[in-house]
């Protein structure tokens, strides 16, 4: 695994931020509206700390165990980024990370939302969550369908201890130009529609979509949070499948 020097990583972050600003301006938006989340999964905690020292205040992790471990290590050093849990979360692991992420992007079932609610109330805190939606209809993707998200919303809004802040989606790896935009546009339409379905408008502000290969398209379609790993941290060595 090649590790970037602070100078190289700073250059990567600057390049991504410039592209975010360019895309935002092209869309007639304020670049300040867009949160860059550096996805540090599979990289060591000191690499995440290096990114924070270079001004990357929001860090995302896919696996609850990895986020929990890195948060503990960085907490001991007085380094406190905003942690985002962006990968699949199993109900049995909610207990481990409750109260740690500033935002859980990947709430994909009513039962998971219920478990987060239960643990939040038990710990006397509120958890901010996004509903993961599978607007592309891919079988390999997690998430509510657009119809399910609308139908489930009243039950989700009834759960105590939760702030439902918007939606998250993932586009398929583009096989043809425009494929990602189609997914992002559908997510934005759903996001705007659900804004008028009884949610707290002061909190319903997050549309998390776009990764290293398609974050510019996501911003043009209305993303407020982009999740960028490879373009900042480099290629990862993935663990062997178990």
Domains of the chain: 6-233 (3.20.20.10)
> How much is the average pLDDT of 29-49?
96
| Averaged confidence pLDDT in the chain | 94
In the beta sheet, which residues pair with residue 114? none
pLDDT above 90 covers what percent of the chain?
88
| SS3 per residue for 173-219 | CCCCCCHHHHHHHHHHHHHHHHCCCCCCCCCCCEEECCCCCCHHHHH
Is 59 a residue whose pLDDT tops 60? yes
Instruction: Decide which of 241 and 134 is more confident.
Output: 134
232 token code pair? 């900042």
* The pLDDT value given to residue 240: 47
Encode pLDDT of 185-194 as tens digits: 999 999 999 9
Encode pLDDT of 68-123 as tens digits: 999 999 999 999 999 999 999 999 999 999 999 999 999 999 999 999 999 999 99
* The pLDDT value given to residue 238: 62
> How much is the average pLDDT of 151-179?
91
Among 169, 222, 166, 168, residue whose Cα is nearest residue 199: 166
> How much is the average pLDDT of 179-202?
96
Encode pLDDT of 122-149 as tens digits: 999 999 999 999 997 777 678 999 999 9
* The pLDDT value given to residue 242: 39
Q: Residues with Cβ < 8 Å from 228, sequence gap 6 or more?
A: 16, 36, 37, 38, 39, 210, 211, 212, 215
Beta strands 82-85 and 127-132: pairing type?
Answer: unpaired
Burial class of residue 133, CB neighbours in 10 A (0-12, 13-18, 19+):
buried
* The pLDDT value given to residue 141: 75
């Amino acid at each position: 695994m090649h590790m970037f020097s602070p100078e190289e990583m700073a250059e990567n972050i600057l390049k991504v931020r410039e592209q975010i600003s360019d895309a935002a301006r092209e869309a007639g938006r304020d670049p300040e509206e867009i949160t860059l989340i550096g996805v540090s999964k599979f990289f060591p905690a000191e690499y995440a700390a290096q990114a924070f020292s270079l001004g990357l205040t929001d860090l995302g992790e896919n696996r609850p165990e990895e986020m929990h471990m890195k948060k503990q290590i960085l907490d001991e050093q007085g380094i406190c980024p905003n942690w985002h849990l962006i990968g699949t979360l199993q109900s049995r692991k909610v207990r481990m990370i409750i109260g740690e992420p500033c935002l859980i992007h990947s709430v994909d079932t009513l039962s998971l939302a219920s478990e987060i609610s239960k643990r939040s109330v038990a710990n006397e805190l509120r958890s901010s969550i996004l509903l993961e939606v599978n607007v592309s209809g891919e079988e390999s993707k997690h998430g509510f369908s657009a119809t399910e998200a609308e139908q489930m919303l009243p039950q989700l809004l009834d759960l105590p201890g939760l702030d439902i802040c918007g939606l998250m989606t993932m586009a398929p790896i583009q096989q043809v130009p425009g494929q990602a935009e189609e997914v992002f546009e559908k997510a934005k339409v759903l996001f705007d529609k659900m804004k008028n379905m009884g949610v707290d408008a002061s909190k319903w502000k997050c549309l998390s979509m776009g990764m290293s290969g398609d974050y510019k398209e996501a911003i043009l379609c209305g993303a407020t949070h982009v999740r960028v790993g490879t373009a900042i941290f480099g290629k990862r060595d993935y663990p062997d499948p178990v």
